[in-house]
Structure 1
Amino acid sequence: MNIRAARTEDLDAIAALLAENGLSASDVTPDQLRDFAVAEDAHGSVVGSVGLEGFGAEALLRSLAVAKPERSAGLGTKLLLHAEYMALTLGVSELWLLTTTATDFFRRAGYLPVARPSAPTGLQSSTQFAQLCPSTAVCMKKKLKPNRARDPAVDKTAKH
């Protein structure tokens, strides 16, 4: 697997992947792709995605999805680590997310459930918070530690 920055031509593949995972792609635009990454298989097909939506020192982690045939192989964790590294390079100190299905996955990665109204105002006004994610979605956050010098998703010596 190769994790790389998303490109405009990946938009349709990302939208299909999000739909396959029951996630909305209606607000994913070419402009947003600058803060997205994709995983591609040996044939160059997009099999994973993750994105950030920044609001200063906080960002919304979004669109983390893995194609069904690629699940249970650690790709979701690699994409999450890559997103956390991207966030750190952008000066983000806190990642927030909403999930309806992956609470345990994110909890194992150090994310803690929090009350949705405690999210920063900017995040609450995002399309994800305000319109797309149901009120039953679990809100979670993680404080990032700026001690990673390299991207663990591509650093072959890092422990995952």
Structure 2
Amino acid sequence: MKIRAAKSDDLGAIKALLAENDLPFSDVTADLLRDFLVAEDTDDVLVGSVGLEKFGRPALLRSLVVAQAARSDGLGTSLTAHSENLARALGISQLWLLTTSAADFFQRFGYVSVDRSSVPVELQASTQFAQLCPATAVCMMKSL
């Protein structure tokens, strides 16, 4: 697997992969992709993605997805590690996320569950927090 920076022509494949896995995709735009990473298999087929949505020093870790056929190979772990390294390089001090199904996965990386009310106001106003993710989603945070 090869992990690389997303390009604007990856947008359709990223949105399709998110849709196939019942993850929000309506707010994923070409502009947002500048801080996204993608994973390609040996045939250059996109099989994973993860993104950062920056709000100053905090950011949302979002759109982590791995195609069914590429699971159980550690790709989710690799994408998460790469996104955290990118966040550090960008000067991000805190990563926040919402998840309905992967809280245990993120806990292994040191993310802790927090009350949504503790999220910085600018993140609470994001489309992810305000509209796309259900109120039942677990909110998690990690300081870098």
Q: Normalising TM by the smaller chain, what interval?
A: over 0.9
2:118 alignment counterpart: 118
1:147 alignment counterpart: none
Q: Secondary structure at the match of 2:25?
A: coil
Q: Secondary structure at the match of 1:10?
A: helix
Is the aligned partner of 1:93 residue 2:93?
yes
2:56 alignment counterpart: 56
State how many pairs are aligned: 144
1:108 alignment counterpart: 108
TM-score, length-normalised on structure 2? 0.99
**Cα distance between partner residues in 2 of 1:100 and 1:120:** 20
State the Cα distance separating 1:12 from its structure 2 match.
0.6
Task: Give per-residue Cα distances to partners, 1:94-123, cap 9 Å, x unaligned.
Answer: 100000000000011110000011000010
**Residues 70-89 of structure 1 aligned to structure 2 (within 5 Å):** 70-89=70-89
State the Cα distance separating 1:72 from its structure 2 match.
1.1
Deviation >4 Å, runs of 4+: none
Q: Secondary structure at the match of 1:38?
A: strand
**Cα distance between partner residues in 2 of 1:102 and 1:68:** 15
Unmatched tracts of structure 1, length 5 or more: 145-160
Task: Give per-residue Cα distances to partners, 1:26-79, cap 9 Å, x unaligned.
Answer: 000000100000000001110000000001110000000000011111000000
**Cα distance between partner residues in 2 of 1:24 and 1:96:** 16
**Cα distance between partner residues in 2 of 1:76 and 1:132:** 22
**Cα distance between partner residues in 2 of 1:125 and 1:23:** 19
Is the aligned partner of 1:141 residue 2:105?
no
**Cα distance between partner residues in 1 of 2:125 and 2:40:** 32
1:17 alignment counterpart: 17
Q: Secondary structure at the match of 1:65?
A: strand
TM-score, length-normalised on structure 1? 0.89
State the Cα distance separating 1:21 from its structure 2 match.
1.3
State the Cα distance separating 1:20 from its structure 2 match.
1.4
**Cα distance between partner residues in 2 of 1:53 and 1:143:** 16
